[in-house]
Amino acid sequence: MTNNYFNSHVPAHEMGHCLDLWHTFQGTRPGTSGCAENKNGSNCTTCGDYVCDTPADDSYGTSNGFNPNFFNVMSYYGMIGSYFTDGQKTRMKTAILNSTLLNAVRSTTCTYPVLASNKTLYCSDTENLSFTLQNGGNSVTWRVSSNATIISQSNNAITIQPNVQSSTSRIVWAEAVLPFQTIRKEFYIGTPRVALTAYCTDNNSSYCHLNWMGFPTQSVGQPFSLSISGQGDTWVDADYEWEKISGDFNFTNDGGYQTNPVNNGTKNIGKPLP
């Protein structure tokens, strides 16, 4: 295989052939072996590519009344092949299980590299971040973001010191560069940047502000919803509750109203209770 095909779908296409997959147009395109699959797929188990969730295909698109999948890896529609169907995956798994050539490498206890961290939340850049690489082997190169300094490193661990105060970004990351893949883990340093959004549930979009220029525009008794969002990949795991200056929230429930404590467990105001 030449270099110009390396970053295309061609390697996956050829591997599919190695694992007992045919072209999606097999038997249907003139000059190919086998029998043609009917356009309605009624003989999909005995003709064509023998996979029933790949539509019948003659490799000429829809011009002859076929309705092929242009993005299937085993098709011939340019360089746009991007996925296998469930039926193709099953056929490949069967080929792996039945192949005598793969007996020596087949296993039911596969391991894969995992990059783990010692914490899930980092509120301050005075805290060091430690990452541990599991099943990564002995050929590891570490890379970190420009706003972090490496304190120590080995083949299976690295400790870094964030410095987000002098940086425009609060995102800090570490990468384990392995021979065949790179694993990155990143964190948002600091308390979450939280945005609170209010919106009405009625159809009058002119009255969807809780407060506009100091005047409330939400009619009394009308339901509205609040949603919360923030920055950082793990901040949603933090505990929080909804609070109001006085009284309890009224939560909607099947069109009616129900009074509950300030934390209803769903972290959403105005949404139906579970």
Query: pLDDT, tens digit, for every residue of 52-78?
Result: 999 999 998 888 889 888 889 999 886
Query: Could you tell me the pTM of the whole model?
Result: 0.44
Structure-block tokens of residue 190:
């600091």
Dist. CA 175–CA 66, nearest whole Å: 46
In terms of DSSP bridges, do strands 182-188 and 195-200 run parallel, antiparallel, or are they unpaired?
unpaired
- In which band, very low, low, confident or very high, does the pLDDT at 108 lie, cut at 50, 70 and 90? confident
Structure-block tokens of residue 104:
């020596």
Residues 114 and 135: beta-carbon distance below 8 Å: yes
| Residue where the block lists tokens 């901040």 | 235
| CB < 8 Å & 24+ apart, contacts of 40-47 | none
Close Cβ partners of 189 (under 8 Å, ≥ 6 residues apart): 122, 123, 124, 125, 162, 164, 170, 171, 172
Residues 224 and 201: beta-carbon distance below 8 Å: yes
Backbone angles phi, psi at 200, to 5 degrees: -85, 155
The 10 Å Cβ neighbour count of residue 234 is 14
Can you give the pLDDT at residue 186? 86
Q: Please tell me which residue, 226 or 190, carries the higher pLDDT value.
A: 190
Residues 169 and 162: beta-carbon distance below 8 Å: no
- In which band, very low, low, confident or very high, does the pLDDT at 205 lie, cut at 50, 70 and 90? very low
Reported as type and span, the H/E element at residue 227 is: strand 224-229
The 10 Å Cβ neighbour count of residue 223 is 16
Close Cβ partners of 178 (under 8 Å, ≥ 6 residues apart): 113, 136, 137, 139, 140
Can you give the pLDDT at residue 83? 84
- In which band, very low, low, confident or very high, does the pLDDT at 144 lie, cut at 50, 70 and 90? very high
DSSP tag of 29:
S
